[in-house]
Amino acid sequence: MDLFFDENAKKLYVYTSFLNSNNQTDFGIYSLNYPHIPIIENTQSNSKLAANFWALIIISLFITSMIGLLIMSYFKKKQIKPGEETIIPKTDKKEERLVALEYPIVFFGGFQMFDKKGNDLTGKFTPLIKELFLILWLYTHKNNKGISSQKLKDLLWYDKSDKSAQNNRAVNITKLKTILKELGDFSISKKTGYWIIENNSENLVNDYSQLHKNLLKSKPTKEDIIHTISITKKGAFLNNLDYTWLDSFKQNITDLIVNNFMNYALKLDIDEDLDFAIDLADCIFNFDTTNEIAVFLKCKVYNIKGNHSLANDTFNKFLKEYNILYGQEFEHNFNKFISQDINNLHL
């Protein structure tokens, strides 16, 4: 901002410039008669001083108010608060969601699906189409074989005639294909004689397949275990769905997780990474509330950290769960239990 005085016109001019929201420069010129209050010639110097004083006051107020208006106009156009960064790069919200999205298909903590732009597709699944998708997906990955038309009828259209079941299957598979096109390069086929979902997108991943990739190794690494913990922290496998046919899949995934985590815990040096031992125990507890290795890890870590009350609370909660599940008291007290070697615990 600059201030100029035009002696011929007897005016003060204020010149301003700033970048607007389109990254273009806006200019503004404002004027004020000077002096604002006519100076009456007077032989008394006090009168001249008073007149000049009030003129300066008015000019100062004018300049201050103009600066205030310009600042308010600037921040209004930028739509940010004073004090915040004035240059805000334009970003695409959908791209931000896509970057933040780890898995386009989510099974743990409840079923979800997102398209290639990161938009949530879950609401497009009717209960029937959702169940159809899960059956095709899980049976495809169960044995790389898929599911027969008869088995599909038995699960979804057992109360309908063969022709009616065939019509229902055709209509709903068409609807499912439409949704899957938004997800990626998918196809549903029966070229082997069994219904399968083919994923032709190399980069499209899901937490179910990723967990299998982590744990179906001969020797999962610590990184594999940590990655699996991050997946299961969201919740159990398809925990918002309850189908009779799904029980065996849930049990298999639970066994895979718990067995791998327990085997890794048996080789773990607890003192080396206390927080990791706690995470490992919590993850086991999510699937098995009376697991002795999990309670041993937590109690041991709390004791090492000096959190004796937490150790006792954890053990007492375990005793209650154990009594409810097995209808009998646990055989060890706290001190005897944590003094054992982890490899001697009942598995």
d(CA 189, CA 185): 13
Decide if 88 is inside a domain: no
pLDDT confidence of 186, banded at 50, 70, 90? confident
pLDDT confidence of 268, banded at 50, 70, 90? confident
Same domain? For 181 and 63 the reply is no
Same domain? For 317 and 195 the reply is no
Do the beta carbons of residue 279 and residue 301 sit within 8 Å? no
Last-in-domain residue among 21, 45, 78? 78
Decide if 112 is inside a domain: no
Decide if 326 is inside a domain: yes
- 121 burial level (CB within 10 Å; 0-12, 13-18, 19+): middle
Number of domains composing the chain: 3
Same domain? For 236 and 333 the reply is yes
The values of phi and psi at residue 30, to 5°, are: -125, 145
Same domain? For 221 and 336 the reply is yes
Same domain? For 194 and 250 the reply is no
Tokens at 261, concatenated: 């985590």
Same domain? For 237 and 333 the reply is yes
pLDDT confidence of 79, banded at 50, 70, 90? very low
Decide if 179 is inside a domain: yes
- CA distances 141 to 174, 195, 196, 336, Å, are 21, 12, 9, 45
Same domain? For 265 and 312 the reply is yes
Residue 31: other Cβ atoms inside 10 A: 12
Out of 178-182, 184-188, 243-247, pick the least confident.
Answer: 184-188
Same domain? For 141 and 169 the reply is yes
Structural domain that includes position 154: 125-199
Same domain? For 23 and 62 the reply is yes
Tokens at 180, concatenated: 């899957």
The values of phi and psi at residue 341, to 5°, are: -80, 135
d(CA 119, CA 98): 8
Decide if 86 is inside a domain: no
pLDDT confidence of 75, banded at 50, 70, 90? very low
Same domain? For 176 and 225 the reply is no
Same domain? For 224 and 180 the reply is no
Task: Please state the pTM of the whole predicted model.
Answer: 0.66
Q: Are strands 11-19 and 186-189 parallel, antiparallel or unpaired?
A: unpaired
Same domain? For 227 and 299 the reply is yes
Does position 54 have pLDDT exceeding 70, yes or no? Answer: no
Question: Which amino acid, residue 15?
Answer: Y
| Higher-pLDDT residue of 88, 105 | 105
Decide if 84 is inside a domain: no
Q: What is the mean pLDDT of residues 156-179?
A: 95
Last-in-domain residue among 146, 176, 199? 199
Decide if 302 is inside a domain: yes
**Angle between helices 247-266 and 292-305 in degrees, nearest 10:** 40
Last-in-domain residue among 156, 173, 199? 199
Decide if 111 is inside a domain: no
**Angle between helices 274-287 and 222-232 in degrees, nearest 10:** 50
pLDDT confidence of 82, banded at 50, 70, 90? very low
Name 292's Cβ contacts closer than 8 Å, sequence gap at least 6. Answer: 345, 346, 347
